[in-house]
Structure 1
């Protein structure tokens, strides 16, 4: 459904979002990554909240991005387990929130340095946020249409993908479930 017109072309911004994702000249790259990660987390969480009533263990017994891609959660014993999508998203959002609040990862005190592996932490967050986007598009886009929010979601996703590409945050293989839509956004000049 999200690949069909006019839905695929619905956005709030004309033109490419690539121009707005580059770090400003005098801004530390890690600061730029941090503030944008915080924003993407909150906006993605809002969109999932908009479809949460229809994302139930009965309707979404496995976290997926369409019929061919299932996502697993790594439990405390380091085992990959299939869990219902709402539980997976709850775990993801809780983990990201805890990471964002961790001063050792996202320092907020003046003079505090970002950790050496900060960009790896950002990559893990972006990977999980992408999975939430992919699930929303593949399983709940009809609910997004019902509230006429497709332009908002598409704009956020185009911004997210543009930012991810600018800083090499998501592996190309991970993007496969949304590759056709990403190609459509490219063809439309959005990313």
Structure 2
């Protein structure tokens, strides 16, 4: 008897149903190392200007992310290679349907190995946060540079281009985020671009290296850092629902537990 188109469709649906759910999308593995309200960690103090607060949050999130990335950059004594290497991770993947590409010198999207992509991101972010035109250090304008103690990033090859084209300025006149603290008009679009790249690194850590974090007993700290990252991004609209789609099942678990607000950025 020849299989029909309906039979093939049903078979595909069955395969989809029985496809194993990644461990990091299962509730029993969504635990954290701290308890409490993450909204408290994100809330801007009453006497702090929001631009300064977001600059502070950004450096904190960058430090936490770099700590998790460093674990995957440590050399495995058995293979003498980092856990995230060009052989294990030839592409910057976040699941079977998401591959992140970099922009080359001609602004063409190109696929690069995950460790190369991550190195580019770290170098690019470091260049942004130490740029006084974006994060001013002139205290005479009531601006304070929150990155004075920014940890040095690993020495890496210089990226050939910014990973994301910058959005247009918030407006040619009037107020903008961080204006009173000396931040430029494009400050908000810059930190949103940085946040999107940081998310991509987190997504790869889950899809490419969750088992490594489990073996190291570090999956709970990873969850905690990522939840804090997502919460800040949602509270201040630094990241969109579309951006976080690859990790949505985990976010759904945390929303069901009231760890995250259900109404994220549009």
Place the TM-score, normalised by the shorter chain, in its bin. over 0.9
In the alignment, which residue of structure 2 is the partner of 1:4? 26
CA-to-partner distance for each residue in 1:125-178, whole Å, 9 max, x for gaps? 000000000000111011111121111111111111110011101121111000
Instruction: Name 1:190's counterpart in structure 2.
Output: 259
Match of 1:26 in 2: 47
Tell me the C-alpha RMSD between the 2 structures: 1.1
What secondary structure is seen at the aligned counterpart in 2 of 1:173? coil
Contact kept? 2:27, 2:253, Cα under 8 Å: no
Deviation for aligned residue 1:77: 1.2
Aligned 8 A contact 1:14 1:190 in 2: no
Consecutive unaligned residues of structure 1, counting only runs of 5 or more, are none
Report SS of the residue matched to 2:92. Answer: coil
Question: Which structure has the larger Rg over C-alpha atoms?
Answer: 2
> Which secondary structure state, in structure 2, belongs to the residue aligned with residue 174 of structure 1?
coil
Give the TM-score normalised by structure 1: 0.95
Aligned residues: 190
Structure 1 outlier segments of 4+, above 4 Å: none
Q: Which ranges of structure 2 fall in alignment gaps of 5 or more residues?
A: 1-22, 74-81, 144-181, 261-266
8 A Cα contact 2:32 2:223, kept in partner = yes
In 2: Cα distance, 1:109 partner to 1:12 partner: 38
Offset at residue 13 of structure 1 (A): 2.1
1:11–1:154 Cα contact (<8 Å) kept: yes
Determine whether 1:168 maps to 2:237.
yes
Matched, 1:82 2:111: yes
Structure with the largest fraction of helix = 1
Q: Which has the higher contact order (CA 8 A, sep 6+)?
A: 1
**The 10-residue stretch of structure 1 (141-150 or 117-126) with the greater mean CA deviation from structure 2:** 141-150
2:89 alignment partner in structure 1: 60
- Deviation of 1:188 after TM superposition, in Å, equals 2.1
